[in-house]
């Protein structure tokens, strides 16, 4: 394995980290801009709110609570009143439109005079056309959050892709930044929550070693990551101008450094913490592009005789969704 030492500052690595941070900030701005344009996340200004008890507040501002599990009514003088989704009866905007469903479900309300076209339904060839019965659609319970009653975005999903990662910290001393390939599977746990099992294989460079009078020996270094993370994604807004979903995942896994030379191999395996965040950009109902940033951190405080290190990378993946 590589010798442990103290790395010196590297301007190229610093520029790479700044570029990664810029990508993350840009992604967050795009998601925020998309939500602002859609208006389905509020805040809603100048609205009239009626709660389940019959109380009506006029010309107030309505906003989502910080945890996304309720609403907050804000008066002109700044006074705030929390309100649960279940206690909401009616919301009318300044133009007189009923936007209750938009507030409860996150789906933008239709403009005045617009009609939503029903989706075509394929007829059952075995059915009698004179007595054709339309099967009832499953009802969606109003409300937001991980248990808002909506069906999950997917039941099972597979992802594959790759990217580039920066290796920083004394644990990776002597190794090089490089590209990687990754494969994963997600299993839905709730409306917006899931488990993510991930494998990543990263190139860590090549070094040449030779003793006095010996033929140089070339050693190839790689790193394998086996990760299990718990994740959550934002609400899917099919009617928004820019359909994008943000996601965040955290968990842990196994980090294995491997050295190979002339058919001989040596490896070192350690526990590491995993984190990943990014955006899903749906291309179709089944295919989604995944642009994300990950960090895989091997702590140095678990063993006083070992240093720590982090693999920080940017990935682009293709995700296939089974519903």
The answer to whether residues 65 and 31 belong to one domain is no
Count of domains observed in the chain = 2
What does pLDDT average to in each consecutive run of 10 residues of the chain (323 residues)? 46 55 52 48 88 88 82 89 87 89 75 55 49 46 51 92 95 92 94 95 87 77 96 79 87 95 89 96 93 94 84 96 91
pLDDT for position 35: 45
Print the domain residue range for 96: 42-105
Same domain, residue pair 236 and 100? no
Cα–Cα dist 295/277, whole Å = 9
Q: How many helices (H) and strands (E) does the chain have?
A: 2, 13
pLDDT at 17: 62
pLDDT of residue 54: 83
- Same domain for 76 and 202? no
pLDDT of residue 38: 43
What's the CA gap between 48 and 72, in Å, rounded? 13
Of 86, 105, 124, the last residue of a domain is: 105
- The pLDDT, as a whole number, for residue 216 is 79
Whether residue 191 lies inside any domain: the answer is: yes
Return the sign of the alpha-carbon dihedral for residues 61, 65, 69, 72.
negative
pLDDT score at 37: 43
């Amino acid at each position: 394995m590589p010798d442990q030492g103290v790395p010196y500052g590297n301007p190229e690595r610093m520029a790479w980290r700044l570029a990664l941070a810029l990508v993350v900030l840009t992604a967050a701005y795009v998601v925020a801009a998309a939500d602002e344009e859609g208006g389905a996340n509020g805040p809603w200004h100048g609205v009239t709110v009626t709660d389940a008890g019959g109380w009506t507040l006029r010309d107030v501002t309505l906003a989502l609570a910080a945890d996304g599990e309720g609403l907050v009514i804000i008066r002109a003088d700044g006074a705030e009143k929390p309100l649960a989704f279940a206690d909401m009866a009616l919301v009318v905007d300044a133009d007189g439109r009923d936007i209750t469903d938009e507030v409860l479900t996150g789906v933008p309300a239709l403009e005045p005079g617009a009609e939503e076209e029903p989706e075509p339904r394929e007829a059952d060839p075995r059915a009698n056309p004179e007595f054709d019965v339309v099967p009832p659609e499953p009802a969606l319970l109003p409300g937001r959050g991980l248990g808002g009653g909506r069906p999950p975005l997917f039941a099972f999903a597979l992802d594959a892709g790759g990217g580039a990662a920066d290796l920083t910290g004394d644990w990776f001393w002597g190794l090089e930044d490089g590209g990687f390939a990754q494969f994963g599977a997600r299993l839905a746990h709730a409306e917006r929550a899931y488990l993510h099992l991930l494998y990543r294989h990263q190139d860590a460079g090549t070094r040449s070693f030779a003793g006095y009078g010996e033929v140089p020996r070339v050693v190839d270094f790689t790193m394998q990551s086996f990760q299990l993370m718990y994740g959550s994604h934002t609400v899917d807004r099919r009617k928004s101008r820019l359909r994008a979903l943000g996601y965040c995942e955290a968990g842990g896994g196994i980090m294995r450094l491997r050295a190979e030379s002339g058919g001989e191999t040596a490896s070192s395996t350690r526990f590491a913490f995993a984190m990943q965040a990014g955006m899903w950009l749906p291309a179709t109902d089944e295919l989604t592009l995944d642009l994300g940033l990950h960090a895989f951190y091997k702590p140095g405080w678990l063993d006083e005789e070992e240093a720590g290190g982090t693999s920080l990378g940017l990935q682009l993946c293709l995700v296939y969704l089974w519903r």
